[in-house]
Amino acid sequence: MQISKISQKRPSYLRRKWKEILATSGLTLFAAVIVIMFLSPFVHMIFTSLKTTDQMTEQGAPVWPAKPESFTYQGETYDVFNVPMPDGSTRSLALVKKGREASQFMDIANPGAAPIEWVGSWRTLKRTWAFSPSWSNFIEVWTKLDYPRLFFNTVALAVISTVGTLISCILVAYGFARFRIPGKGLLFTLLISTIFLPTAVTLVPTYTFFAKIGWIGTWLPLLVPTFFANAYDVFLLRQYFLTIPREMDEAAMMDGAGPFRTLVSIILPQSMPVIIAVSIFHIVWAWNDFFGPLIYLSTRPELQPIAVGLSRFNPIHSTRPPLVQAASLMSLIIPVIIFLFCQRFFIQGVVITGVEK
Beta-carbon count within 10 A of 104 CB: 17
Question: Is the CB of residue 292 less than 8 Å from the CB of residue 202?
Answer: no
CA–CA distance, 215 with 3 (Å, rounded to integer): 88
pLDDT at 345 (0 to 100): 65
**For residue range 247-284, what is the model confidence (pLDDT) as tens digits?**
888 888 888 888 899 999 889 999 988 898 899 889 98
pLDDT at 302 (0 to 100): 92
What integer is the mean pLDDT of 227-253?
Answer: 90
Query: What average pLDDT is seen over the chain?
Result: 86
**For residue range 22-78, what is the model confidence (pLDDT) as tens digits?**
878 888 888 888 888 888 888 888 999 999 888 888 877 888 899 888 888 888 888
Question: What is the per-residue DSSP string for 231-274?
Answer: HHHHHHHHHHHHTS-HHHHHHHHHTT--HHHHIIIIIHHHTHHH
* H or E stretch covering 26: helix 2-49
pTM listed for this prediction: 0.78
Question: Is the CB of residue 324 less than 8 Å from the CB of residue 314?
Answer: yes
Which residues on neighbouring strands pair with residue 126, listed in sequence order? 82
Task: Report angle CA 188, 191, 193 to the nearest 5 degrees.
Answer: 110
Task: Report angle CA 339, 150, 297 to the nearest 5 degrees.
Answer: 110
CA–CA distance, 347 with 279 (Å, rounded to integer): 13
Which residues on neighbouring strands pair with residue 72, listed in sequence order? 77
Query: Residue 128 gets which letter from DSSP?
Result: P
Instruction: State how far Cα 55 lies from the chain centre.
Output: 25
Alpha helices in 58-196 (DSSP H): 136-144, 147-178, 184-193
Which residues on neighbouring strands pair with residue 117, listed in sequence order? 104
Q: Does residue 95 register a pLDDT over 50?
A: yes
**For residue range 167-202, what is the model confidence (pLDDT) as tens digits?**
999 999 999 998 888 888 899 999 999 888 888 888
